[in-house]
Amino acid sequence: MPPFKRWTMKKEESRQAPSTVFEGMTSISAVINGGYRKIERVLADGEKAKANRRKLDYLAHRACEIGFEIEYSSAEEIDKLTTGTSHGGIIALCTEREIPPLSEISLKRDGFYVMIDGIEDPYNFGYALRSIYAAGADSVILTPRNWMSAGGVVCRSSAGASELLPLYISDGEEACSFFHKNGIKVVCAGIRNSVSAFDADLSRPLFLIVGGEKRGISAKVLSSADTVVRLDYGREFNGSLSAASAAGILSYEILRQNRK
């Protein structure tokens, strides 16, 4: 196998491997501001210290507040720990994030909650979280099988949103039952027996479920939905949008319908 192909495959595998290395200031700032995990130490490229002085001064200030070490390292050592190339010479080694069960959530009167299930790639998972966060979701519900083990990759692809969003764990059926018991309607993205998302009532409070491209949403979860919505296309199109795109569009339609 050619060396470049071996390197590419190794990089791709590392992107899906469990990782608590957070790369670049956007990710590190999100970890600090989210407060859902602890930074154990920050590694900075010593040769870029002068160029990164303002960032390092900020980190030194926060290190005194919340307690972590800043160590200077080489570019080679940092590259060994990272999967991306946009870290700018600063990375953080963090603890795992503990995600509580859905039963511990504090519901809001006009809350907007989202479950994304079955996304097959941590980058797409991060892209979905970025859109959901920007559209104003209050919390995201994750199934036990999710990509948060690759927290560093997800954080980078979500532009930090994954570390700013409250996350909870539940399976789909339990989540539907929980929200129904609390008087919150359940809306699923699907095709059969659906209405256009642009015609549906998506007023809050609302629990939105979006399934992945391959597995989709289970029949039991779909049957418990108050409404099944679809995304209409602007031309004949036999394909489907990615789960990340669908989650973003639906989240923004919910934002549009609930503007005050």
Residue 154: give its domain's CATH number: 3.40.1280.10
- Residues 167 and 253 both lie in one domain: yes
User: Residue 258 burial by CB count (10 A; 0-12/13-18/19+): exposed, middle or buried?
Assistant: middle
35 located within any domain:
yes
Looking at the fold, whether 153 and 66 belong to one and the same domain comes out as: no
Residue 167 lies in a domain: yes
169, 143 contact by CB (below 8 A): yes
Type of residue numbered 46: G
**Residue 28 tokens, joined:** 């590190």
Statement to judge: residues 69 and 114 lie in one domain: no
Looking at 78, 94, 110, which one is the last position of a domain?
94
Residue 82 lies in a domain: yes
| Predicted local distance difference test score (pLDDT) of residue 7 | 41
Query: Same structural domain for residues 198 and 174?
Result: yes
**What is the CATH number for 22?**
3.30.1330.30
Phi, psi (degrees; rounded to nearest 5) at 43? -110, 130
Grouped pLDDT means (10 residues each) for the chain, 260 residues: 50 62 95 96 91 93 92 90 84 95 96 90 92 98 87 94 97 96 96 94 97 80 94 90 93 95
Q: Are residues 245 and 127 in the same domain?
A: yes
Q: Check whether residue 152 and residue 231 sit in a common domain.
A: yes
Judgement on whether residues 195 and 228 belong to the same structural domain of the protein: yes
Number of domains in the chain: 2
Six-digit token string for 11: 């990089």
Last-in-domain residue among 62, 94, 126: 94
* Whether 84 and 110 share a structural domain: no
Which pLDDT score is estimated for 9? 46
The helix (H) or strand (E) run that includes residue 227 is strand 227-230
Distance CA 126, CA 84 (A): 14
Domain membership of residue 11 (yes or no) is: no
- Domain hosting 176: range is 102-257
Handedness of CA 165, 171, 176, 177 (dihedral sign): negative
The whole-angstrom separation of Cα 2 and Cα 5 is 5
Residue whose pair of structure tokens reads 């507040």 in the numeric block: 65
Whether residue 205 is preceded by a cis peptide bond, meaning omega within 30 degrees of 0, is yes
Contact 77, 43 (CB under 8 A): yes
Residues 119 and 208 in one domain: yes
Query: Does residue 80 sit in the same domain as residue 178?
Result: no
Q: Are residues 123 and 73 in the same domain?
A: no
The CA distance from 151 to 37, in Å, is 10
Same domain membership, residue 186 and residue 84: no
Three-state SS across 147-216?
A: CHHHHHHHHHHCCCHHHHCCEEECCHHHHHHHHHHCCCEEEEECCCCCEECCCCCCCCCEEEEEECCCCC
Do 250 and 208 touch, CB atoms closer than 8 A?
Answer: yes
Residue 205 falls inside a structural domain: yes
Asked which of 69, 94, 119 is the last residue of a domain, the reply is 94
Predicted local distance difference test score (pLDDT) of residue 146: 83
pLDDT of residue 118: 78
